[in-house]
Amino acid sequence: MSFHWAKAYEPKNSFMRWLDERLPLPRLVYGAIGGGYPVPRNLNYFWNFGVLAGIFLTIQIITGIVLAMHFYATTDGAFNSVNQLIMRDVNAGWLLRYAHMNGASFFFLVTYIHIFRGLYYGSYKAPRELVWMLGLVIYLLMMATGFMGYVLPWGQMSYWGAQVITGFFSAFPLVGEPIRVWLLGGYAPDQAALTRFFSLHYLLPFVIAGVVILHIWALHIPGSGNPTGVDVKSERDTLPFHPFYTAKDGWFAAAMLLAYALVTYFAPDYLGHPDNYIQANPLATPAHIVPEWYFWPFYAILRSFTVDFILPAKLWGVLAMFASILLLFFLPWLDKSPVRSGSYRPVFKRFFWLLVLDVLILGYIGGAPINWWRVALGQAASAYYFIHFLVILPLVSAFEIPLPLPSSISESVLHGETKEAAPLGQNKPRRGSTATAG
């Protein structure tokens, strides 16, 4: 697909030939994730997380479809259908629900690692800008899906989370409140909101799956990036996806699923909030309303604006929170450095790790109860977030002197050697081979 040495699909038996001539589906799969997709040979384990995200999306869709068979989308029935019917009476219902709850967390976890991989290795740069932007669209859809899914059990955090998040829209003058009422189908979250959230929560994962296909399609035009950021130059730089990367993804997926299983089976409520085991009560506000952990950094940015400076503080918070994600769409044009990989950019690399620390701090602040020093720390961290992307990154890319790049991927893998002794698969010890020189 991407390189001229990519192997073409050859049907192994007459049935596959028959099928391939009429509907070239086997050809498509072979070219996308089979031996027909050449991948740089020097990928490290950070390149495994895209496949992992796909695995968790699949797990979410499968567990979600079965859970939906037992869920009552009514304000009276939702809490009981989850906590009584599914958790007690449905066969292995507890497993489905815990797998779905924690599957969402792991989906976000691997996606965050995937995104930070892209930030460090410059995966957003030409010619992969659209891959990056489609990825951000997936991420936005994930956030909407995750939020609406959290509302469905109709616990206290579900209800008050819905109240707070839809309340963002009322920060906008004039149009805000009508938009909020329109989205909720009422003045507060109620039956109308619950049913439409359920409907959309069922729909959006399939939209995500569609955008994932576009994401992979766009990726396969230039082919995968790699840790050096150097373009693929020859066949020596690549290995076929199958069996090399299917094997690498395979064992690593088992390792990640093991971590997922340990949380799901032994600490299923660790990432949740106790208040969501109390049925929604519009008359009792929880002491601390917090979203799920994957929204904490954005929640911290939202809460950091405490002063009405020209605009009301709430509007500043909402604008900044949306801006903090939308600015990522402009990354290909903010970072103009021709060098992709952070490994060859000494100044960029330092700021990158500062950003990682900054986002971790924001995450902590967003999840913790507020007090004076947490608010102050959150404000400083939020300010750095914007300065990092919108000021520091363009300046660094303009003034930084990058380290010398390897001239090709195989050179970087060969540790300074100029050529390989033998083509792949022919490397048997021979009399008088180069190694005997020593």
Active site residues: 220, 224, 248-249, 292
Q: Which of 28, 130, 214, 380 binds other proteins (CB under 8 A)?
A: 380
Residue pair 248/42 in contact (Cβ under 8 Å)? The answer is no
Q: Which of 1, 375, 405, 406 binds other proteins (CB under 8 A)?
A: 375
Q: Which of 127, 178, 186, 274 binds other proteins (CB under 8 A)?
A: 274
Cα-Cα-Cα-Cα torsion 305, 308, 309, 314, nearest 10 degrees, comes to 50
The three-state (H, E, C) secondary structure of 99-141, written as one string: HHHHHHHHHHHHHHHHHHHHHHCCCCCCCCHHHHHHHHHHHHH
> What SS3 state is found at 227?
coil
Name the segment binding other proteins (CB under 8 A); options: 179-187, 191-199, 222-230, 427-435: 427-435
Name the segment binding other proteins (CB under 8 A); options: 32-40, 86-94, 137-145, 349-357: 86-94
Counting contacts by CB under 8 A, is residue 266 touching other proteins?
yes
- Residue 305, both tokens: 């604006």
Q: Tell me whether residue 74 is exposed, middle or buried, using C-beta atoms within 10 angstroms of its C-beta: 0 to 12, 13 to 18, 19 or more.
A: middle
Name the segment binding other proteins (CB under 8 A); options: 10-18, 210-218, 227-235, 269-277: 269-277
Q: Which is nearer to other proteins, 155 or 205 (CB)?
A: 155
* Minimal distance, residue 87 CB to other proteins, in Å: 7
Counting contacts by CB under 8 A, is residue 379 touching other proteins?
yes
Q: Which is nearer to other proteins, 45 or 182 (CB)?
A: 45
Name the segment binding other proteins (CB under 8 A); options: 6-14, 25-33, 109-117, 378-386: 378-386
Q: Give the Cα separation of 81 and 72 in Å (integer).
A: 6
Residue pair 360/300 in contact (Cβ under 8 Å)? The answer is no
* Minimal distance, residue 435 CB to other proteins, in Å: 4
Q: Give the Cα separation of 328 and 322 in Å (integer).
A: 11
Counting contacts by CB under 8 A, is residue 258 touching other proteins?
yes
Q: Which of 107, 305, 344, 348 binds other proteins (CB under 8 A)?
A: 305
Strands 238-240 and 38-40: antiparallel
Counting contacts by CB under 8 A, is residue 391 touching other proteins?
yes
Q: Greatest CA span in the chain, whole angstroms?
A: 85
* Minimal distance, residue 193 CB to other proteins, in Å: 23
> What SS3 state is found at 39?
strand
Counting contacts by CB under 8 A, is residue 44 touching other proteins?
no
Site string for other proteins, 102-131 (x = CB under 8 A): ------------------------------
> What SS3 state is found at 279?
strand
Counting contacts by CB under 8 A, is residue 58 touching other proteins?
no
Counting contacts by CB under 8 A, is residue 195 touching other proteins?
no
- Residue 383, both tokens: 């300010």
- Residue 250, both tokens: 């395979």
Counting contacts by CB under 8 A, is residue 327 touching other proteins?
yes
Backbone phi, psi, residue 338, to 5° = -70, -15
